[in-house]
Every structure is written in C-alpha cells, then in structure tokens.
Structure 1
Amino acid sequence: MYVAFDQLPPEARVWIYQASRQLSAQEIVGVLPSLARFAEEWTSHGRSLHASAQFLHQQFLIVGLDEGVAGASGCSIDASVRFVAQLEQHLGAELLEKSRLAFLHEGAVTLLKRSELKAAVAAGTIGPETFYFDNTLATKAQLDSNWPRPAAETWLARYFGQEEKSHLPA
C-alpha cells in the first residue's frame, strides 16, 4: 500500500540508493508513477506493505517501509532490488553501485571514489564540516535528522584525526 513518504513513522526502515549522476527534474517526474506503483504493489508473503519511495537532492532514491504494519522478507527485498535495477535501465544511471561517496559541496552533491578521499582531505576539498551523505542509515528518523551531516560526525572522522561523534538516536 502506497503511503506518502512524510506520513511514514520515524521508525520506518529506509534504503538509500545513490545515483551515479544527478537526475533531471524531468527524469524524476517521469518515474514518480513507477515509484508509487511499486509502493502500492509491494508485498511480503502476500501481505501488503505500507511503503513509499522518493528522490532527494535529485541524486538519491529513498525507499521507506513501515515495518510496524508488516516487515520485509528476503523475497520482498529481492523484489525491491529488481525494481531499482529496472529504474537503472530506464534512467541510464547506476543506483545499485556503492563505491562512491557523496558530499554536499557548495550546494551541490559531489561524488568521490573511495580512492580519491585521502587526496581530497589533504587538498582541503573535503573537511570535517563538509556534509556527507551516509547511505547506511536505517530509519526515517535518522534520515530526517542526520542526513547529510558533517563528515567528522561519521565514520569519516578518522580522516581528520578525530573520534566519530555519533549523534544517532539509540
């Protein structure tokens, strides 16, 4: 069952898929019906899931699921990954590839290969206060309050000689 993303509860589970490039507004508008249809039809063991999907920053597909109603099974998670793979084909952009890191730099999302991170920190392009999109967040509450957040408050803290300052709710 489709639920508006902002109507999902804070404890709703989220999956974040990062596009390999910024998507145009036209591309996003073009896939909105597919996102709604997927959320409406997504099931787990024959039970309708209360789910939603949206794009943020023209770069990230967020799939949300209210597990208080029904949780995702392995088969339903596989179905969501197949759906994302179909979106990749339609958009001509990778969504399942996870090797790039995303930062908010001067108001725009910037992608870096992991191998480029040390050089970017050394050059001052990425600093402790540069906002980082941690796509491993698990809940809507974390997404709403800690995404993006300063790099020094994430696992990237070690690149700045700092301890990670976790502000995630327990």
Structure 2
Amino acid sequence: MARPRQFEQEQVLDAVTDTFWRSGYEATSAQDLAKATGRGRGSLCNAFSSKQAPYEQTLRHYQQRSRHNVEQLQQAGPVRERLRTLLLSVLDADLGAAQQRGCLATNAAVDQAGHNPEVKALVRENFGILEKGLRQAIFRGQQTGELRPGADADALAWGVAKD
C-alpha cells in the first residue's frame, strides 16, 4: 500500500529544512536538495518554482517548531520549570547534533533577511511567535509568584526571543 502524499511531502520538507539549516541558503545547491530528498532535480523544479520557494517553506516549517515550543510553555505546571525545560531542550538538541546548526530563524536573519523582504517577514513572524509565548509564560509566572512580579515581562520575553 502506498504511503499518503502528505507523509511524503513532510519527509521532503524535513529533508529540505535540514539541508538549508545545515548549509544556509547561499551554500545550498539544487543538487544538495535533490540528494537530501532523494528526488531528481527535475522533480524538485516541478514542485518548487525556485530555490527561494523551498527556503521560505523551510522557514514556515520551522515556525511549527516555535509554535510547539510555545505550546509546551502553556502546559500545566510550574512556569519556571517549563521555561528551564524549554531552554535546556533547545540547547541540548543543538549541542547533541552531529553538526551544531544554531537557530534557523537567526541564521536566516543573518543570511538573507537583510536583502529579502519575504525572509525578513518570516523571521520576524518566528521571533514574534516565541516572544508572545515567552511573554505569556513570564506573565503567568509573575501572577503565580514564581517569577519576580516587578520585572518587565515584555522586555524579558524580547531578550530571550532575540538571543
């Protein structure tokens, strides 16, 4: 029985994301994407109108990770522990990888956002997702007394989301 098309699309997008994440936009070639996905270059050209299209999809796909991280912050339990767990899991994932890749959104900001308005918008949107989630968690922690009530939740969230 054939696998559903959605499953195949997710696998291709995961492979494309990993390739851009490891190498960056400029250093990734069509051949690199073909090799990573197991698809022919012609097949990829038919699926994507340009190299820019899968890169933008990669950034949208990465936003799902950010949304997932924010969902983890919103779960029941001590806010301080949720924040600690999130930050440590992000660090552990990168440090435990064969190649340290850093934050894809930050990489895209440095690599492409300065001269590509669509990438700039996607990077800002990603940081906005994280900032909002962190701000809400910090505010909730302040309300429960876990975190200093006098600290500026917006400033704290902005500092963590951008670093």
Is TM-score (shorter-chain normalized) higher than 0.5?
A: no
More helix by share: 2
More strand by share: 1
TM-score bracket, shorter-length normalisation: under 0.3
Rg: which structure is higher? Answer: 2
TM-score scaled to structure 1, two decimals?
0.26
TM-score scaled to structure 2, two decimals?
0.27
